[in-house]
Structure 1
Amino acid sequence: MSTRHDTTGTGKGSRQELEALPVDVLLAILSASHNTDDLCSIVRSSRVVYDVFRSAKRTVLINIMARDLGWSGLLTATAATLITPITIRHGAGDGKDAEGAIKLYESILHGDCGLSFARGLSEVEFAKLVGISRAVQFVVDQYGATRLPRLREIHPDAARELNFRERQRLAHALLRHQVLASIQSLGAMTAGTVIYEQLLEIFRPWEIQQITDAHSFLRAMASFVFPSCERIPRSLSRVYMTGREWWRDSDEQEAMSDLGVMRERFLEKFGHKTMADLEMGLAISQGEREARHNMMPTSSNFLAAGPLPQTSSSQVPEQYWSLRDEIYQREDALPGLLVVEDDKDGNQSAPFAWVDGHRGIDCQRWGEHLFRETLQPGQGNLTFLQINWTRLIVRQWRWLGFMFWDRERAELLKSKLPEYATGWLTRPPPSDDNLSLEDL
């Protein structure tokens, strides 16, 4: 579902005219290539052009990746290149490797070195960086293929192709997920650990929500590439089986923490089919589809639940009311979030739907605690129906991709989905008499 088109125009101009252009203009043309096929085509058109490309190959490719991912996305892709997970057969790390990886991640994103990390990669590392960039665009296309048909059912104009900002926003979430998955394999990621606190301090809550939604989609991809019926029994985990394709849990873990592997395995198994083709082939209902895209394995539970309140129940018991109120007061006291309309990078500010849904409040929760558990005046607690209704509309909001869309697309969806009116995440649900779960 890419928005890319051939804009080089090399087929219209003569080779002589191309070769007569100044070197800096040729580099600009090469950097404007919209995919590797376009780039290869223009590079092969002339020996002069080929020589110019060879002399500045890394700069051209960095410019292309920065356009596709945004500059901050390119830095995250560089971190994903350098932070390599320890596979399951080597065992879990003791946490020191994870802490070192977190420091490396911070230095790449916020240090003075900036893009020197990308420019200073070895040839092997740089090739991996290019591969990661290619893989993330593949996954973005897969995401669009599954979402746009449903968006078209809601509002025809909401199903236009993803623009650059939306693609960058989604790509950056996928790249952050890869970094997070890699760091997680280097040390235990559970609430209360040093790694947990260090890593989650790096991300803002809305960024973690985007990572959570990216994780849900990658889990859905993995469910097709590594179906449970084909997984090898633990008792035979070291046995090589012939005549049938068996997958180990470690294979799925590797694909979840390496978008290049996920792309590779998907293409090996399904060729040019899309996730939408696979889901249509199985005639998956909307409810089942959303459930598949919201799977959360135990190892990633921290993504599904925000930091507070930490309770075993989705309801807030009486003894936690004061804690809940303290959280709300803390959020209300923070500077309000504003929608940044001209965020050309697409990665630097909270998306419209997050700001709009929270009515500008700088919400500090994500996942299942994304919404405020607000009580009506004089009401002792939310009812079972109210809790499940709120969960379902949050799940649908996530599945429809609101966290990645620009304002125009989100507003079109809202016009047909009145439950997502401005501030819906901070207001109490309707009474039981006005609720129905059948249409969600």
Structure 2
Amino acid sequence: MTLQQDVAEATTLELDRHVFHSWSAQGALKPLVIAGGSGAEVWDEEGTRLLDFSSQLVNTNIGHTHPKVVAAIQEQAAILPTVAPAHANRTRGLAAERILAVAGEPFSKVFFTNGGADANENAIRLARLATGRDKVLSAYRSYHGNTGAAIVATGDWRRVPNEYSRGHVHFWGPFPYRSEFWSATPEQEAERALRALERIIEAEGPGSIAALLVETVPGTAGVIVPPPGWLAGLRAICDRWGIVLIFDEVMAGFGRTGDWFAFQNPTLNPDGIVPDVITFAKGVNSGYVPAGGVIIPPALAAEFDTRVFPGGLTYSGHPLAMASIVATIDAMREEGIVENARRIGADVLGPALRTLAERHPVIGEVRGLGVFWALDLVEDPATRAPLPAAETARLKAQLVAAGLLPFVQDNRIHVVPPCIVTDEQVARAIAIYDAVLP
């Protein structure tokens, strides 16, 4: 029997025995088989179709197998499938140009990485080198990636077995529904969280802090929309002490909030404040080819005009990834995909989820914008006690059985369809949530 015959006769799950899966105890795994996808749907090998309201890992913003992006990858593969990052390449330059155009002023350079984790890793490196300081502050309710500094900057449980990087300090960010500050209003929550952060900075020594790294809208931690005053307060704190403000837009960027970047949303950021550095990945090309990066302003880039930046990756600016970025941004512009995400969130998905919450006491809070929402599930609406993990897992299985692929984290269902989702698909999904939720 040849290798090809052996592989052809093995089932996908039999072959999957050879795969070591992330964030998992390996022994009891039986993953869902995904054989194909198109738009906002995926299907298994038997042809059973599921509405993908997970966007996989909240990254297929343009949907599955978008023809323009697929064609761009195929075209680039036939011309130049790989090139060393030291060389200039037109497709890489075009991708950087497209990204800077949607990021706006004052950004002037893009450092390309292979994903969001190493984007945050290199943003931290830039801040430390530019300031000559060491410490990085980040929130407990956060996820920044699974590389050395990024995982320690992360605030959730995954940090604890991986704490090998130095100089990281954590703080509680605002979360009005589950406040650490006994706040009565969102405005009070922002004020108290900012004051607590200032006290941590004073205690740590402002002159020792290189960067403040925050997700503009914390995603995996619960789609925590920041209350009024939070982003402007962060900008003021960083300006006061010369700290580099890094917005992690890996999950929130490229259409997810109904904007190219979440910090550009006028509701989230009415003061129009701009970070010093932006990190991105995921939605920039919907993960069709691994890609991420750091968006850098002129002043920070100039720090390395006469000294070497000690960082790099073999696949930085990989041509296939760059072609997919150019095609994704062009398609999003031509087809009004960012605008669709904004409209869906404001007019269709948001109102439907709030109506759903009125019928299901298990939904303690609905929060989000664009196509970036979370249902905070509770045992008791009065105490807001989180729904136990076993119950949430049961609901996840029922949603899949009913034809919807959800993103479930802790006691939450994250409602995160692709930005190209239609009104009809939202209605189908809402009907499934309605039938499954107690």
* TM-score with structure 2 setting the length: 0.25
Using the size of structure 1 for normalisation, the TM-score is 0.25
Structure number with larger C-alpha Rg? 1
Return the structure number with greater helix share. Answer: 1
Of the two structures, which has the highest relative contact order with CA contacts closer than 8 Å and spacing of 6 or more?
2
